[in-house]
Amino acid sequence: MDLRSIEKSSVIPDLHMHSIFSDGNYTPEQLAEMASENGVNLVSLTDHDEIAGNERMRKACEQKGIAFVSGVEISTGYANKEIHIVGLNIDTSCPELIKALQETKVNRIERAEEISKKLKEMGYPGALEGAMKFVTNPNLVSRIHFAKWLVDTKAASSIDSAFEKFIGSGRPGFVSLKAPTISQAVHLIKRARGIPVLAHPGRYGLKGWKLQALLDEFRNAGGEVIEVTTGSHSSKDNTMICQIAREQAFIASTGSDFHRLDTRCPIGKQGEIPSDLTPVWSLF
């Protein structure tokens, strides 16, 4: 389906989700099926530092009559945190983007080895080998795969507790990812003729001036779009970020950040963009 064929008031979007090409549990075809069942008519596949699933997602969406824009979610480093920048409507053949994503994949492997060493020191040997059993893309190892292994070995009771106890920021098994800066990620996405989006700004634990500093960093890099409603926000966070977008004239994006069925938000159920905000699809 062509986005232009959808009435502006009838867009039901989900512009942030993950497949087996990164750390999601489902194929692009399964995601398109779930989107269709939930009435979604505009989607983007935004795998972590990976664009390989986009063509399959495009074809699956065509079969379901869903408008599709290609996407990616780039991991960046900022103030000792991992901040995510989504790229929407990108050219997946852009050489500069492909090269940068490949470098990040190599860095992910190096980080995985360091996480494994830390977990071994904590009394949990074999973490890398265990995590690899859950990897669906051998070129992309992430913390979620270690979390799944920790749950499988009964070291943690859930994915969330694995992050809270072992591998989340500030925890003993945490290792930061060598990644582009926010400015570099925005540049890469624009080089690929895409639209940079600050993903789930309410998720990073930043409040007051610290959150404002992040927003300023993104805007100074050339970013104009932020996710205002997302499955990675609480309802309170959604309300707060919508108000920030309103006051600071950010364009609004939205997405479930769907990975698996036991996450808090199904595809397309992240909440609507308020009607007084300009939606990102007006730029497509």
pLDDT at site 262: 76
Structural domains of the chain, ranges and CATH numbers in brackets = 12-95+182-283 (3.20.20.140), 102-167 (1.10.150.650)
pLDDT tens-digit profile of 179-212? 999 999 999 999 999 999 999 999 999 999 999 9
Task: Give the pLDDT band (50/70/90) at residue 5.
Answer: low
- Positive/negative CA dihedral, 186, 191, 197, 200: negative
- Distance separating alpha carbons of residues 81 and 140, to the nearest angstrom: 19
Confidence of residue 1 (pLDDT cuts 50, 70, 90): low
Residues 6+ apart with CB under 8 A from 84: 48, 73, 74, 75, 76, 199, 200
Residue indicated by tokens 């404002």: 212
Percentage of residues in the chain having pLDDT higher than 90: 88
- Predicted confidence (pLDDT) at residue 68 exceeds the cutoff of 70: yes
To 5 degrees, how large is the angle CA 272–CA 187–CA 110?
95
What pLDDT sits at residue 2? 64
pLDDT for residue 7 is more than 90? no
pLDDT at residue 16 above 90?
A: yes
Show Cβ contacts of residue 229 under 8 Å, excluding neighbours closer than 6 positions: 238, 241, 242, 252, 254, 270, 271, 272, 273
Residue 237 has pLDDT above 90, yes or no: yes
Is a pLDDT exceeding 80 seen at residue 9?
Answer: no
Structural contact between residues 138 and 148, judged by C-beta atoms closer than 8 angstroms: no
Q: Quote the CA–CA distance of 124 and 131 in Å, as a whole number.
A: 12
Least confident stretch, 52-56, 132-136, 221-225: 132-136
Q: Which pLDDT does position 138 carry in this prediction?
A: 84
pLDDT at 6 over 90: no
Q: Which residues contact 169 (CB under 8 A, 6 or more apart)?
A: 80, 81, 82
Using the predicted structure, report yes or no on whether residue 282 has a pLDDT greater than 80: yes
